[in-house]
Amino acid sequence: MPGAQDLIQAGEWGCVPDVTLASHALSISAPSSGYRAPVNISGPRIQTQGDFSVLATLSDPARSGAFLTLVGALGTGSLYWIGLKQLAVGRDHGAIRVEYWTGSSPKSTSRAFTLPAGASGAINLEVARVGNNIALFVNGSQIGSFAEPGLFASGQAYFGFNVAPGNTLNVLALAAAKPAGSNVSLFVPDLQVATRSSASLRDSAPSGLLIGAAPDRELFLSSDYAQTLGREFNFLVPGNDLKFAQTEPAPHVFDFCRGDQMAAYARANGMKMRGHTLVWWKGVPDWLTSGNYSAPEAAGILHEHIDSVMGHFKGQLADWDVVNEALSDTAPYGLRPSYWLTQLGDNYVDMAFRWAHAADPQAKLFYNDYDGEGLGGKSDAIYNFVRGMLSRGIPIHGVGLQMHLDLDHPPSESTISANIARLGALGLEVHVSEMDVRLPVDSHGVASAADLASQAAIYKNAVSACVANSNCTAFLTWGVSDLYSWIPIRYPGFGAGFLFDRHFHPKPAYYSVSAALNSDSRRSR
């Protein structure tokens, strides 16, 4: 079919458990003890209420039970079949077997179709939705059709596979196409390109100031998310995907697929990406903390981690939070207890920055912390801490001010500005790195109009303070839409912290940030 799009090349398969990608083919192997049924929920999917066609080249499996699946709705319950709407088409006992599940029963409907004469070795399978029917073709010949039982009423189809115990399926090609006139679209999340608007935040900012946000995995599930992020922001920081436990899930085993997916999205949308975070008291894996490592072993693990993670993203990520939240919450704001402090001692922050600089000498290295945005004990402690690092010749280039605020005692514009300025006088850049302003919300996650107005003023103060200081080179929020937020989990009863509401509509805070960027005190000076 003309216009078919190669989904192995375009799609992100590296993050799908049980699927391996080798020399342009996908391979799924099930152990003798059970089935493997991966679904690529953050990779490419078909979006249409109309006709579509999926073409797959499937190797001849050693045994029966090797299926391509098209999933119209993911399972929702504790049992795999609850809510699952899935069509499986594959090779079974020398025939083509179709099985489908409609979400309300563990029993599938199953039927077999005869392979055309001469079909051996790898076959080209086409699964086409034509009107209310599914038609099947093998090596170009139609082998049957049946009524489509409403599996794709959602207008979506995810790609997946189902492989029986002890079997291996090799998918040599996978493509999707639409017949002329069908309104099908193929959604490849990490390559979604947002439609740009000249009124966006990214286009309103003065030059030298990046506007960013911290997406999580939902970026790849929601086209509203992908569109809003790429339209409004020119900087992103993965909210969780570059933390220690994610990037090194087992000793010396590194996993960059999620970070790579974000990087692909950023590239597709002309955005820069920031790294967060290499050394943190939280987010360390159990294998590390319960591993009984000696102090030199722990130092070796951290050194290798920094080398590997920064090495992988070298040339792609210009800025890294090397150390996150090293200082305590209360006076005298000394080093906070952590695995790294215990194992490596008081010098661990210096060591981490030295290793980071060696791993990527071009990268700008940040110390990132919270509660030190305006003036006060914690911000004095951060200031003195980084000044001490500079005096010891440690390669540090910037400070991240997280800016997780609420309506109680937010720092004033003048104190934030004074703090940014004094860090600038040390020669340091500042990123407002994680801003949100949490509000009390009702059971629907909705805040009052008065609180939304107060929130807008707090955002405006932070942005204006940043705009007023040329060493403030980025302003980022810790999420995009209030629909996807860490706040209600961390602070029950609170939410609504970002610039876009649960429907991705701009909030009063969006307009106040936009106005502060457009007033542009930086350019007029």
Q: Cβ 274 to ligand XIL, closest distance in Å?
A: 12
Q: Which phi and psi (to 5°) does residue 462 adopt?
A: -65, -45
SS3 content of the chain, % helix, strand, coil (to 5): 30, 30, 40
Nearer to ligand XIL, 146 or 281 (CB): 281
**From residue 354, how far is each of 79, 240, 344, 345, 349 by CA, in Å?**
50, 24, 14, 15, 9
- Residue with nearest beta carbon to ligand XIL: 486
- Closest approach, Cβ 330 to ligand XIL, in A, equals 18
Shortest distance, CB of residue 508 to ligand XIL, whole angstroms?
A: 23
For the CB of residue 241, give the shortest distance to ligand XIL in the complex, in Å: 10
Q: At what angle do helices 449-467 and 508-519 cross, to 10 degrees?
A: 20
Query: Which amino acid is located at 63 in the chain?
Result: R
Residues 435-494 that bind ligand XIL (CB under 6 A): 486
Which of 300, 299, 320 has the alpha carbon at shortest distance from 310?
A: 320
By CB under 6 A, the residues from 345 to 384 that bind ligand XIL are none
Q: How far is the CB of 486 from ligand XIL (least distance, A)?
A: 3
Q: What is the dihedral of CA 108, 112, 115, 116, to 10 degrees?
A: -120
Q: What is the DSSP string of 430-447?
A: EEEEEEEE-EE--TTSPP
**Cβ-based nearer residue to ligand XIL, 313 or 486:** 486
Give the other-Cβ count within 10 Å of 375's Cβ. Answer: 18
Give the C-alpha separation, 209 to 204, whole Å: 10
- For ligand XIL, which is the closer residue by CB, 136 or 462? 462
Residues contacting ligand XIL: total by CB under 6 A: 6
Selected from 5, 240, 308, 470, the binder of ligand XIL by CB under 6 A is 240
Cα–Cα distances (Å) from 34 to 58, 84, 167, in that order, read 21, 19, 10
Binding letters toward ligand XIL, positions 314-333, x by CB under 6 A: ----------x---------
Helix (H) or strand (E) holding 275: strand 272-280
Q: Is residue 29 within the footprint of ligand XIL (CB under 6 A)?
A: no
Taking the CA atoms of residue 36, residue 39, residue 44 and residue 49 in that order, the dihedral angle to the nearest 10 degrees is: 130
Q: Which of 126, 218, 373, 434 is catalytic?
A: 434
Token pair, residue 379, equals 């911000």
CA-to-CA dists, residue 61 to 18, 72, 175, 233, angstroms: 17, 25, 20, 46
Catalytic annotation on 304? no
Q: Which is nearer to ligand XIL, 69 or 402 (CB)?
A: 402
Other Cβ atoms closer than 10 A to 116: 15
> Is 434 a known active-site residue?
yes
**Quick one: 212 or 239, whose CB is closer to ligand XIL?**
239
Sheet of 109-114: strand order equals: 109-114, 95-102, 85-92, 66-73, 156-163, 39-47, 185-187
Contact pick of 402, 455, 461, 464 for ligand XIL (by CB under 6 A):
402
d(CA 94, CA 112): 10
Q: Which is nearer to ligand XIL, 200 or 247 (CB)?
A: 247
Choosing from 373, 434, 482, 501, the residue that interacts with ligand XIL (CB under 6 A) is 434
Pick the closer one to ligand XIL by CB: 314 or 490.
Answer: 490
Residue 406 in contact with ligand XIL, rule: CB under 6 A: no
- Of 325, 373, 413, 429, the catalytic one is 325
> Given candidates 215, 238, 239, 275, which one binds ligand XIL under the rule CB under 6 A?
239
Kindly state the smallest distance separating residue 487's Cβ from ligand XIL, in Å. Answer: 9
Q: Which residues are catalytic?
A: 325, 434
Applying CB under 6 A, the residues found at the interface with ligand XIL are 239-240, 324, 402, 434, 486
